[in-house]
């Protein structure tokens, strides 16, 4: 069964509907590749997928240990290759993690290390081509 329905709207734009939830987004080609840049580009969504997958997967693992990551955030930078073929060369993700435990104690170094390992093994991270550099920086608040 399909997960997403995509309709080409013309002028390098698509309308994309998540079939289970009905949520819709649009894509647009980037301004450096004939588009208007008025929506996420397909490569923006790849970079976003990596950032959201890392944060969500970390939160899943944290929840098992009674840790909440609510309020954590990430900044994602996508860098395209300067040489043909056009592709994503590097994705930089700078994360600021705010972690709380049920009893109010600080995370141990071991807990932080385990969560940081998860960041590099989320489903999107391990699905991307090994030539795509993934630079993940994690700071704990």
The predicted-structure confidence for 5-23, as pLDDT tens digits, reads as follows 999 999 999 999 999 999 9
Question: How confident is the model at residue 41, as a pLDDT?
Answer: 97
Question: How confident is the model at residue 140, as a pLDDT?
Answer: 96
Q: Distance between CA atoms of 55 and 26, rounded to whole angstroms? A: 23
Q: Is the pLDDT of residue 108 over 90?
A: yes
Higher local confidence (pLDDT), 55 or 104:
55
CATH topology of domain 41-140: GMP Synthetase; Chain A, domain 3 (3.30.300)
* Tens of pLDDT, residues 126-135: 999 999 999 9
Specify burial of residue 69 (Cβ count, 10 A radius: 0-12, 13-18, 19+): buried
Assigned token pair, 83:
């040489």
Q: Distance between CA atoms of 130 and 105, rounded to whole angstroms? A: 38
Q: Distance between CA atoms of 47 and 24, rounded to whole angstroms? A: 18
- Helix, coil or strand: residue 41: coil
Mark out the alpha helices in 22-128 (DSSP H runs): 42-64, 109-119, 123-127
Average pLDDT on 112-128 reads 96
Identify the band that residue 105 occupies on the pLDDT scale cut at 50, 70 and 90: confident
């Amino acid at each position: 069964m399909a997960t997403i329905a995509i309709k080409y709207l013309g002028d390098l734009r698509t309308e994309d509907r998540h079939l289970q939830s009905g949520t819709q987004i649009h894509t647009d080609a980037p301004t450096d590749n004939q588009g208007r840049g008025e929506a996420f580009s397909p490569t923006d969504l790849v970079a976003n997928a990596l950032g959201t997958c890392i944060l969500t997967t970390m939160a899943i693992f944290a929840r098992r240990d009674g840790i909440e990551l609510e309020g954590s955030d990430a900044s994602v930078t996508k860098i395209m290759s300067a040489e043909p073929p056009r592709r994503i060369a590097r994705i930089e993700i700078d994360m600021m993690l705010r972690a709380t435990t049920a009893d109010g104690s600080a995370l141990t170094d071991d807990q932080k290390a385990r969560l940081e390992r998860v960041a590099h093994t989320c489903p999107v991270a391990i699905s991307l081509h090994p030539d795509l550099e993934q630079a993940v920086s994690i700071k704990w608040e």
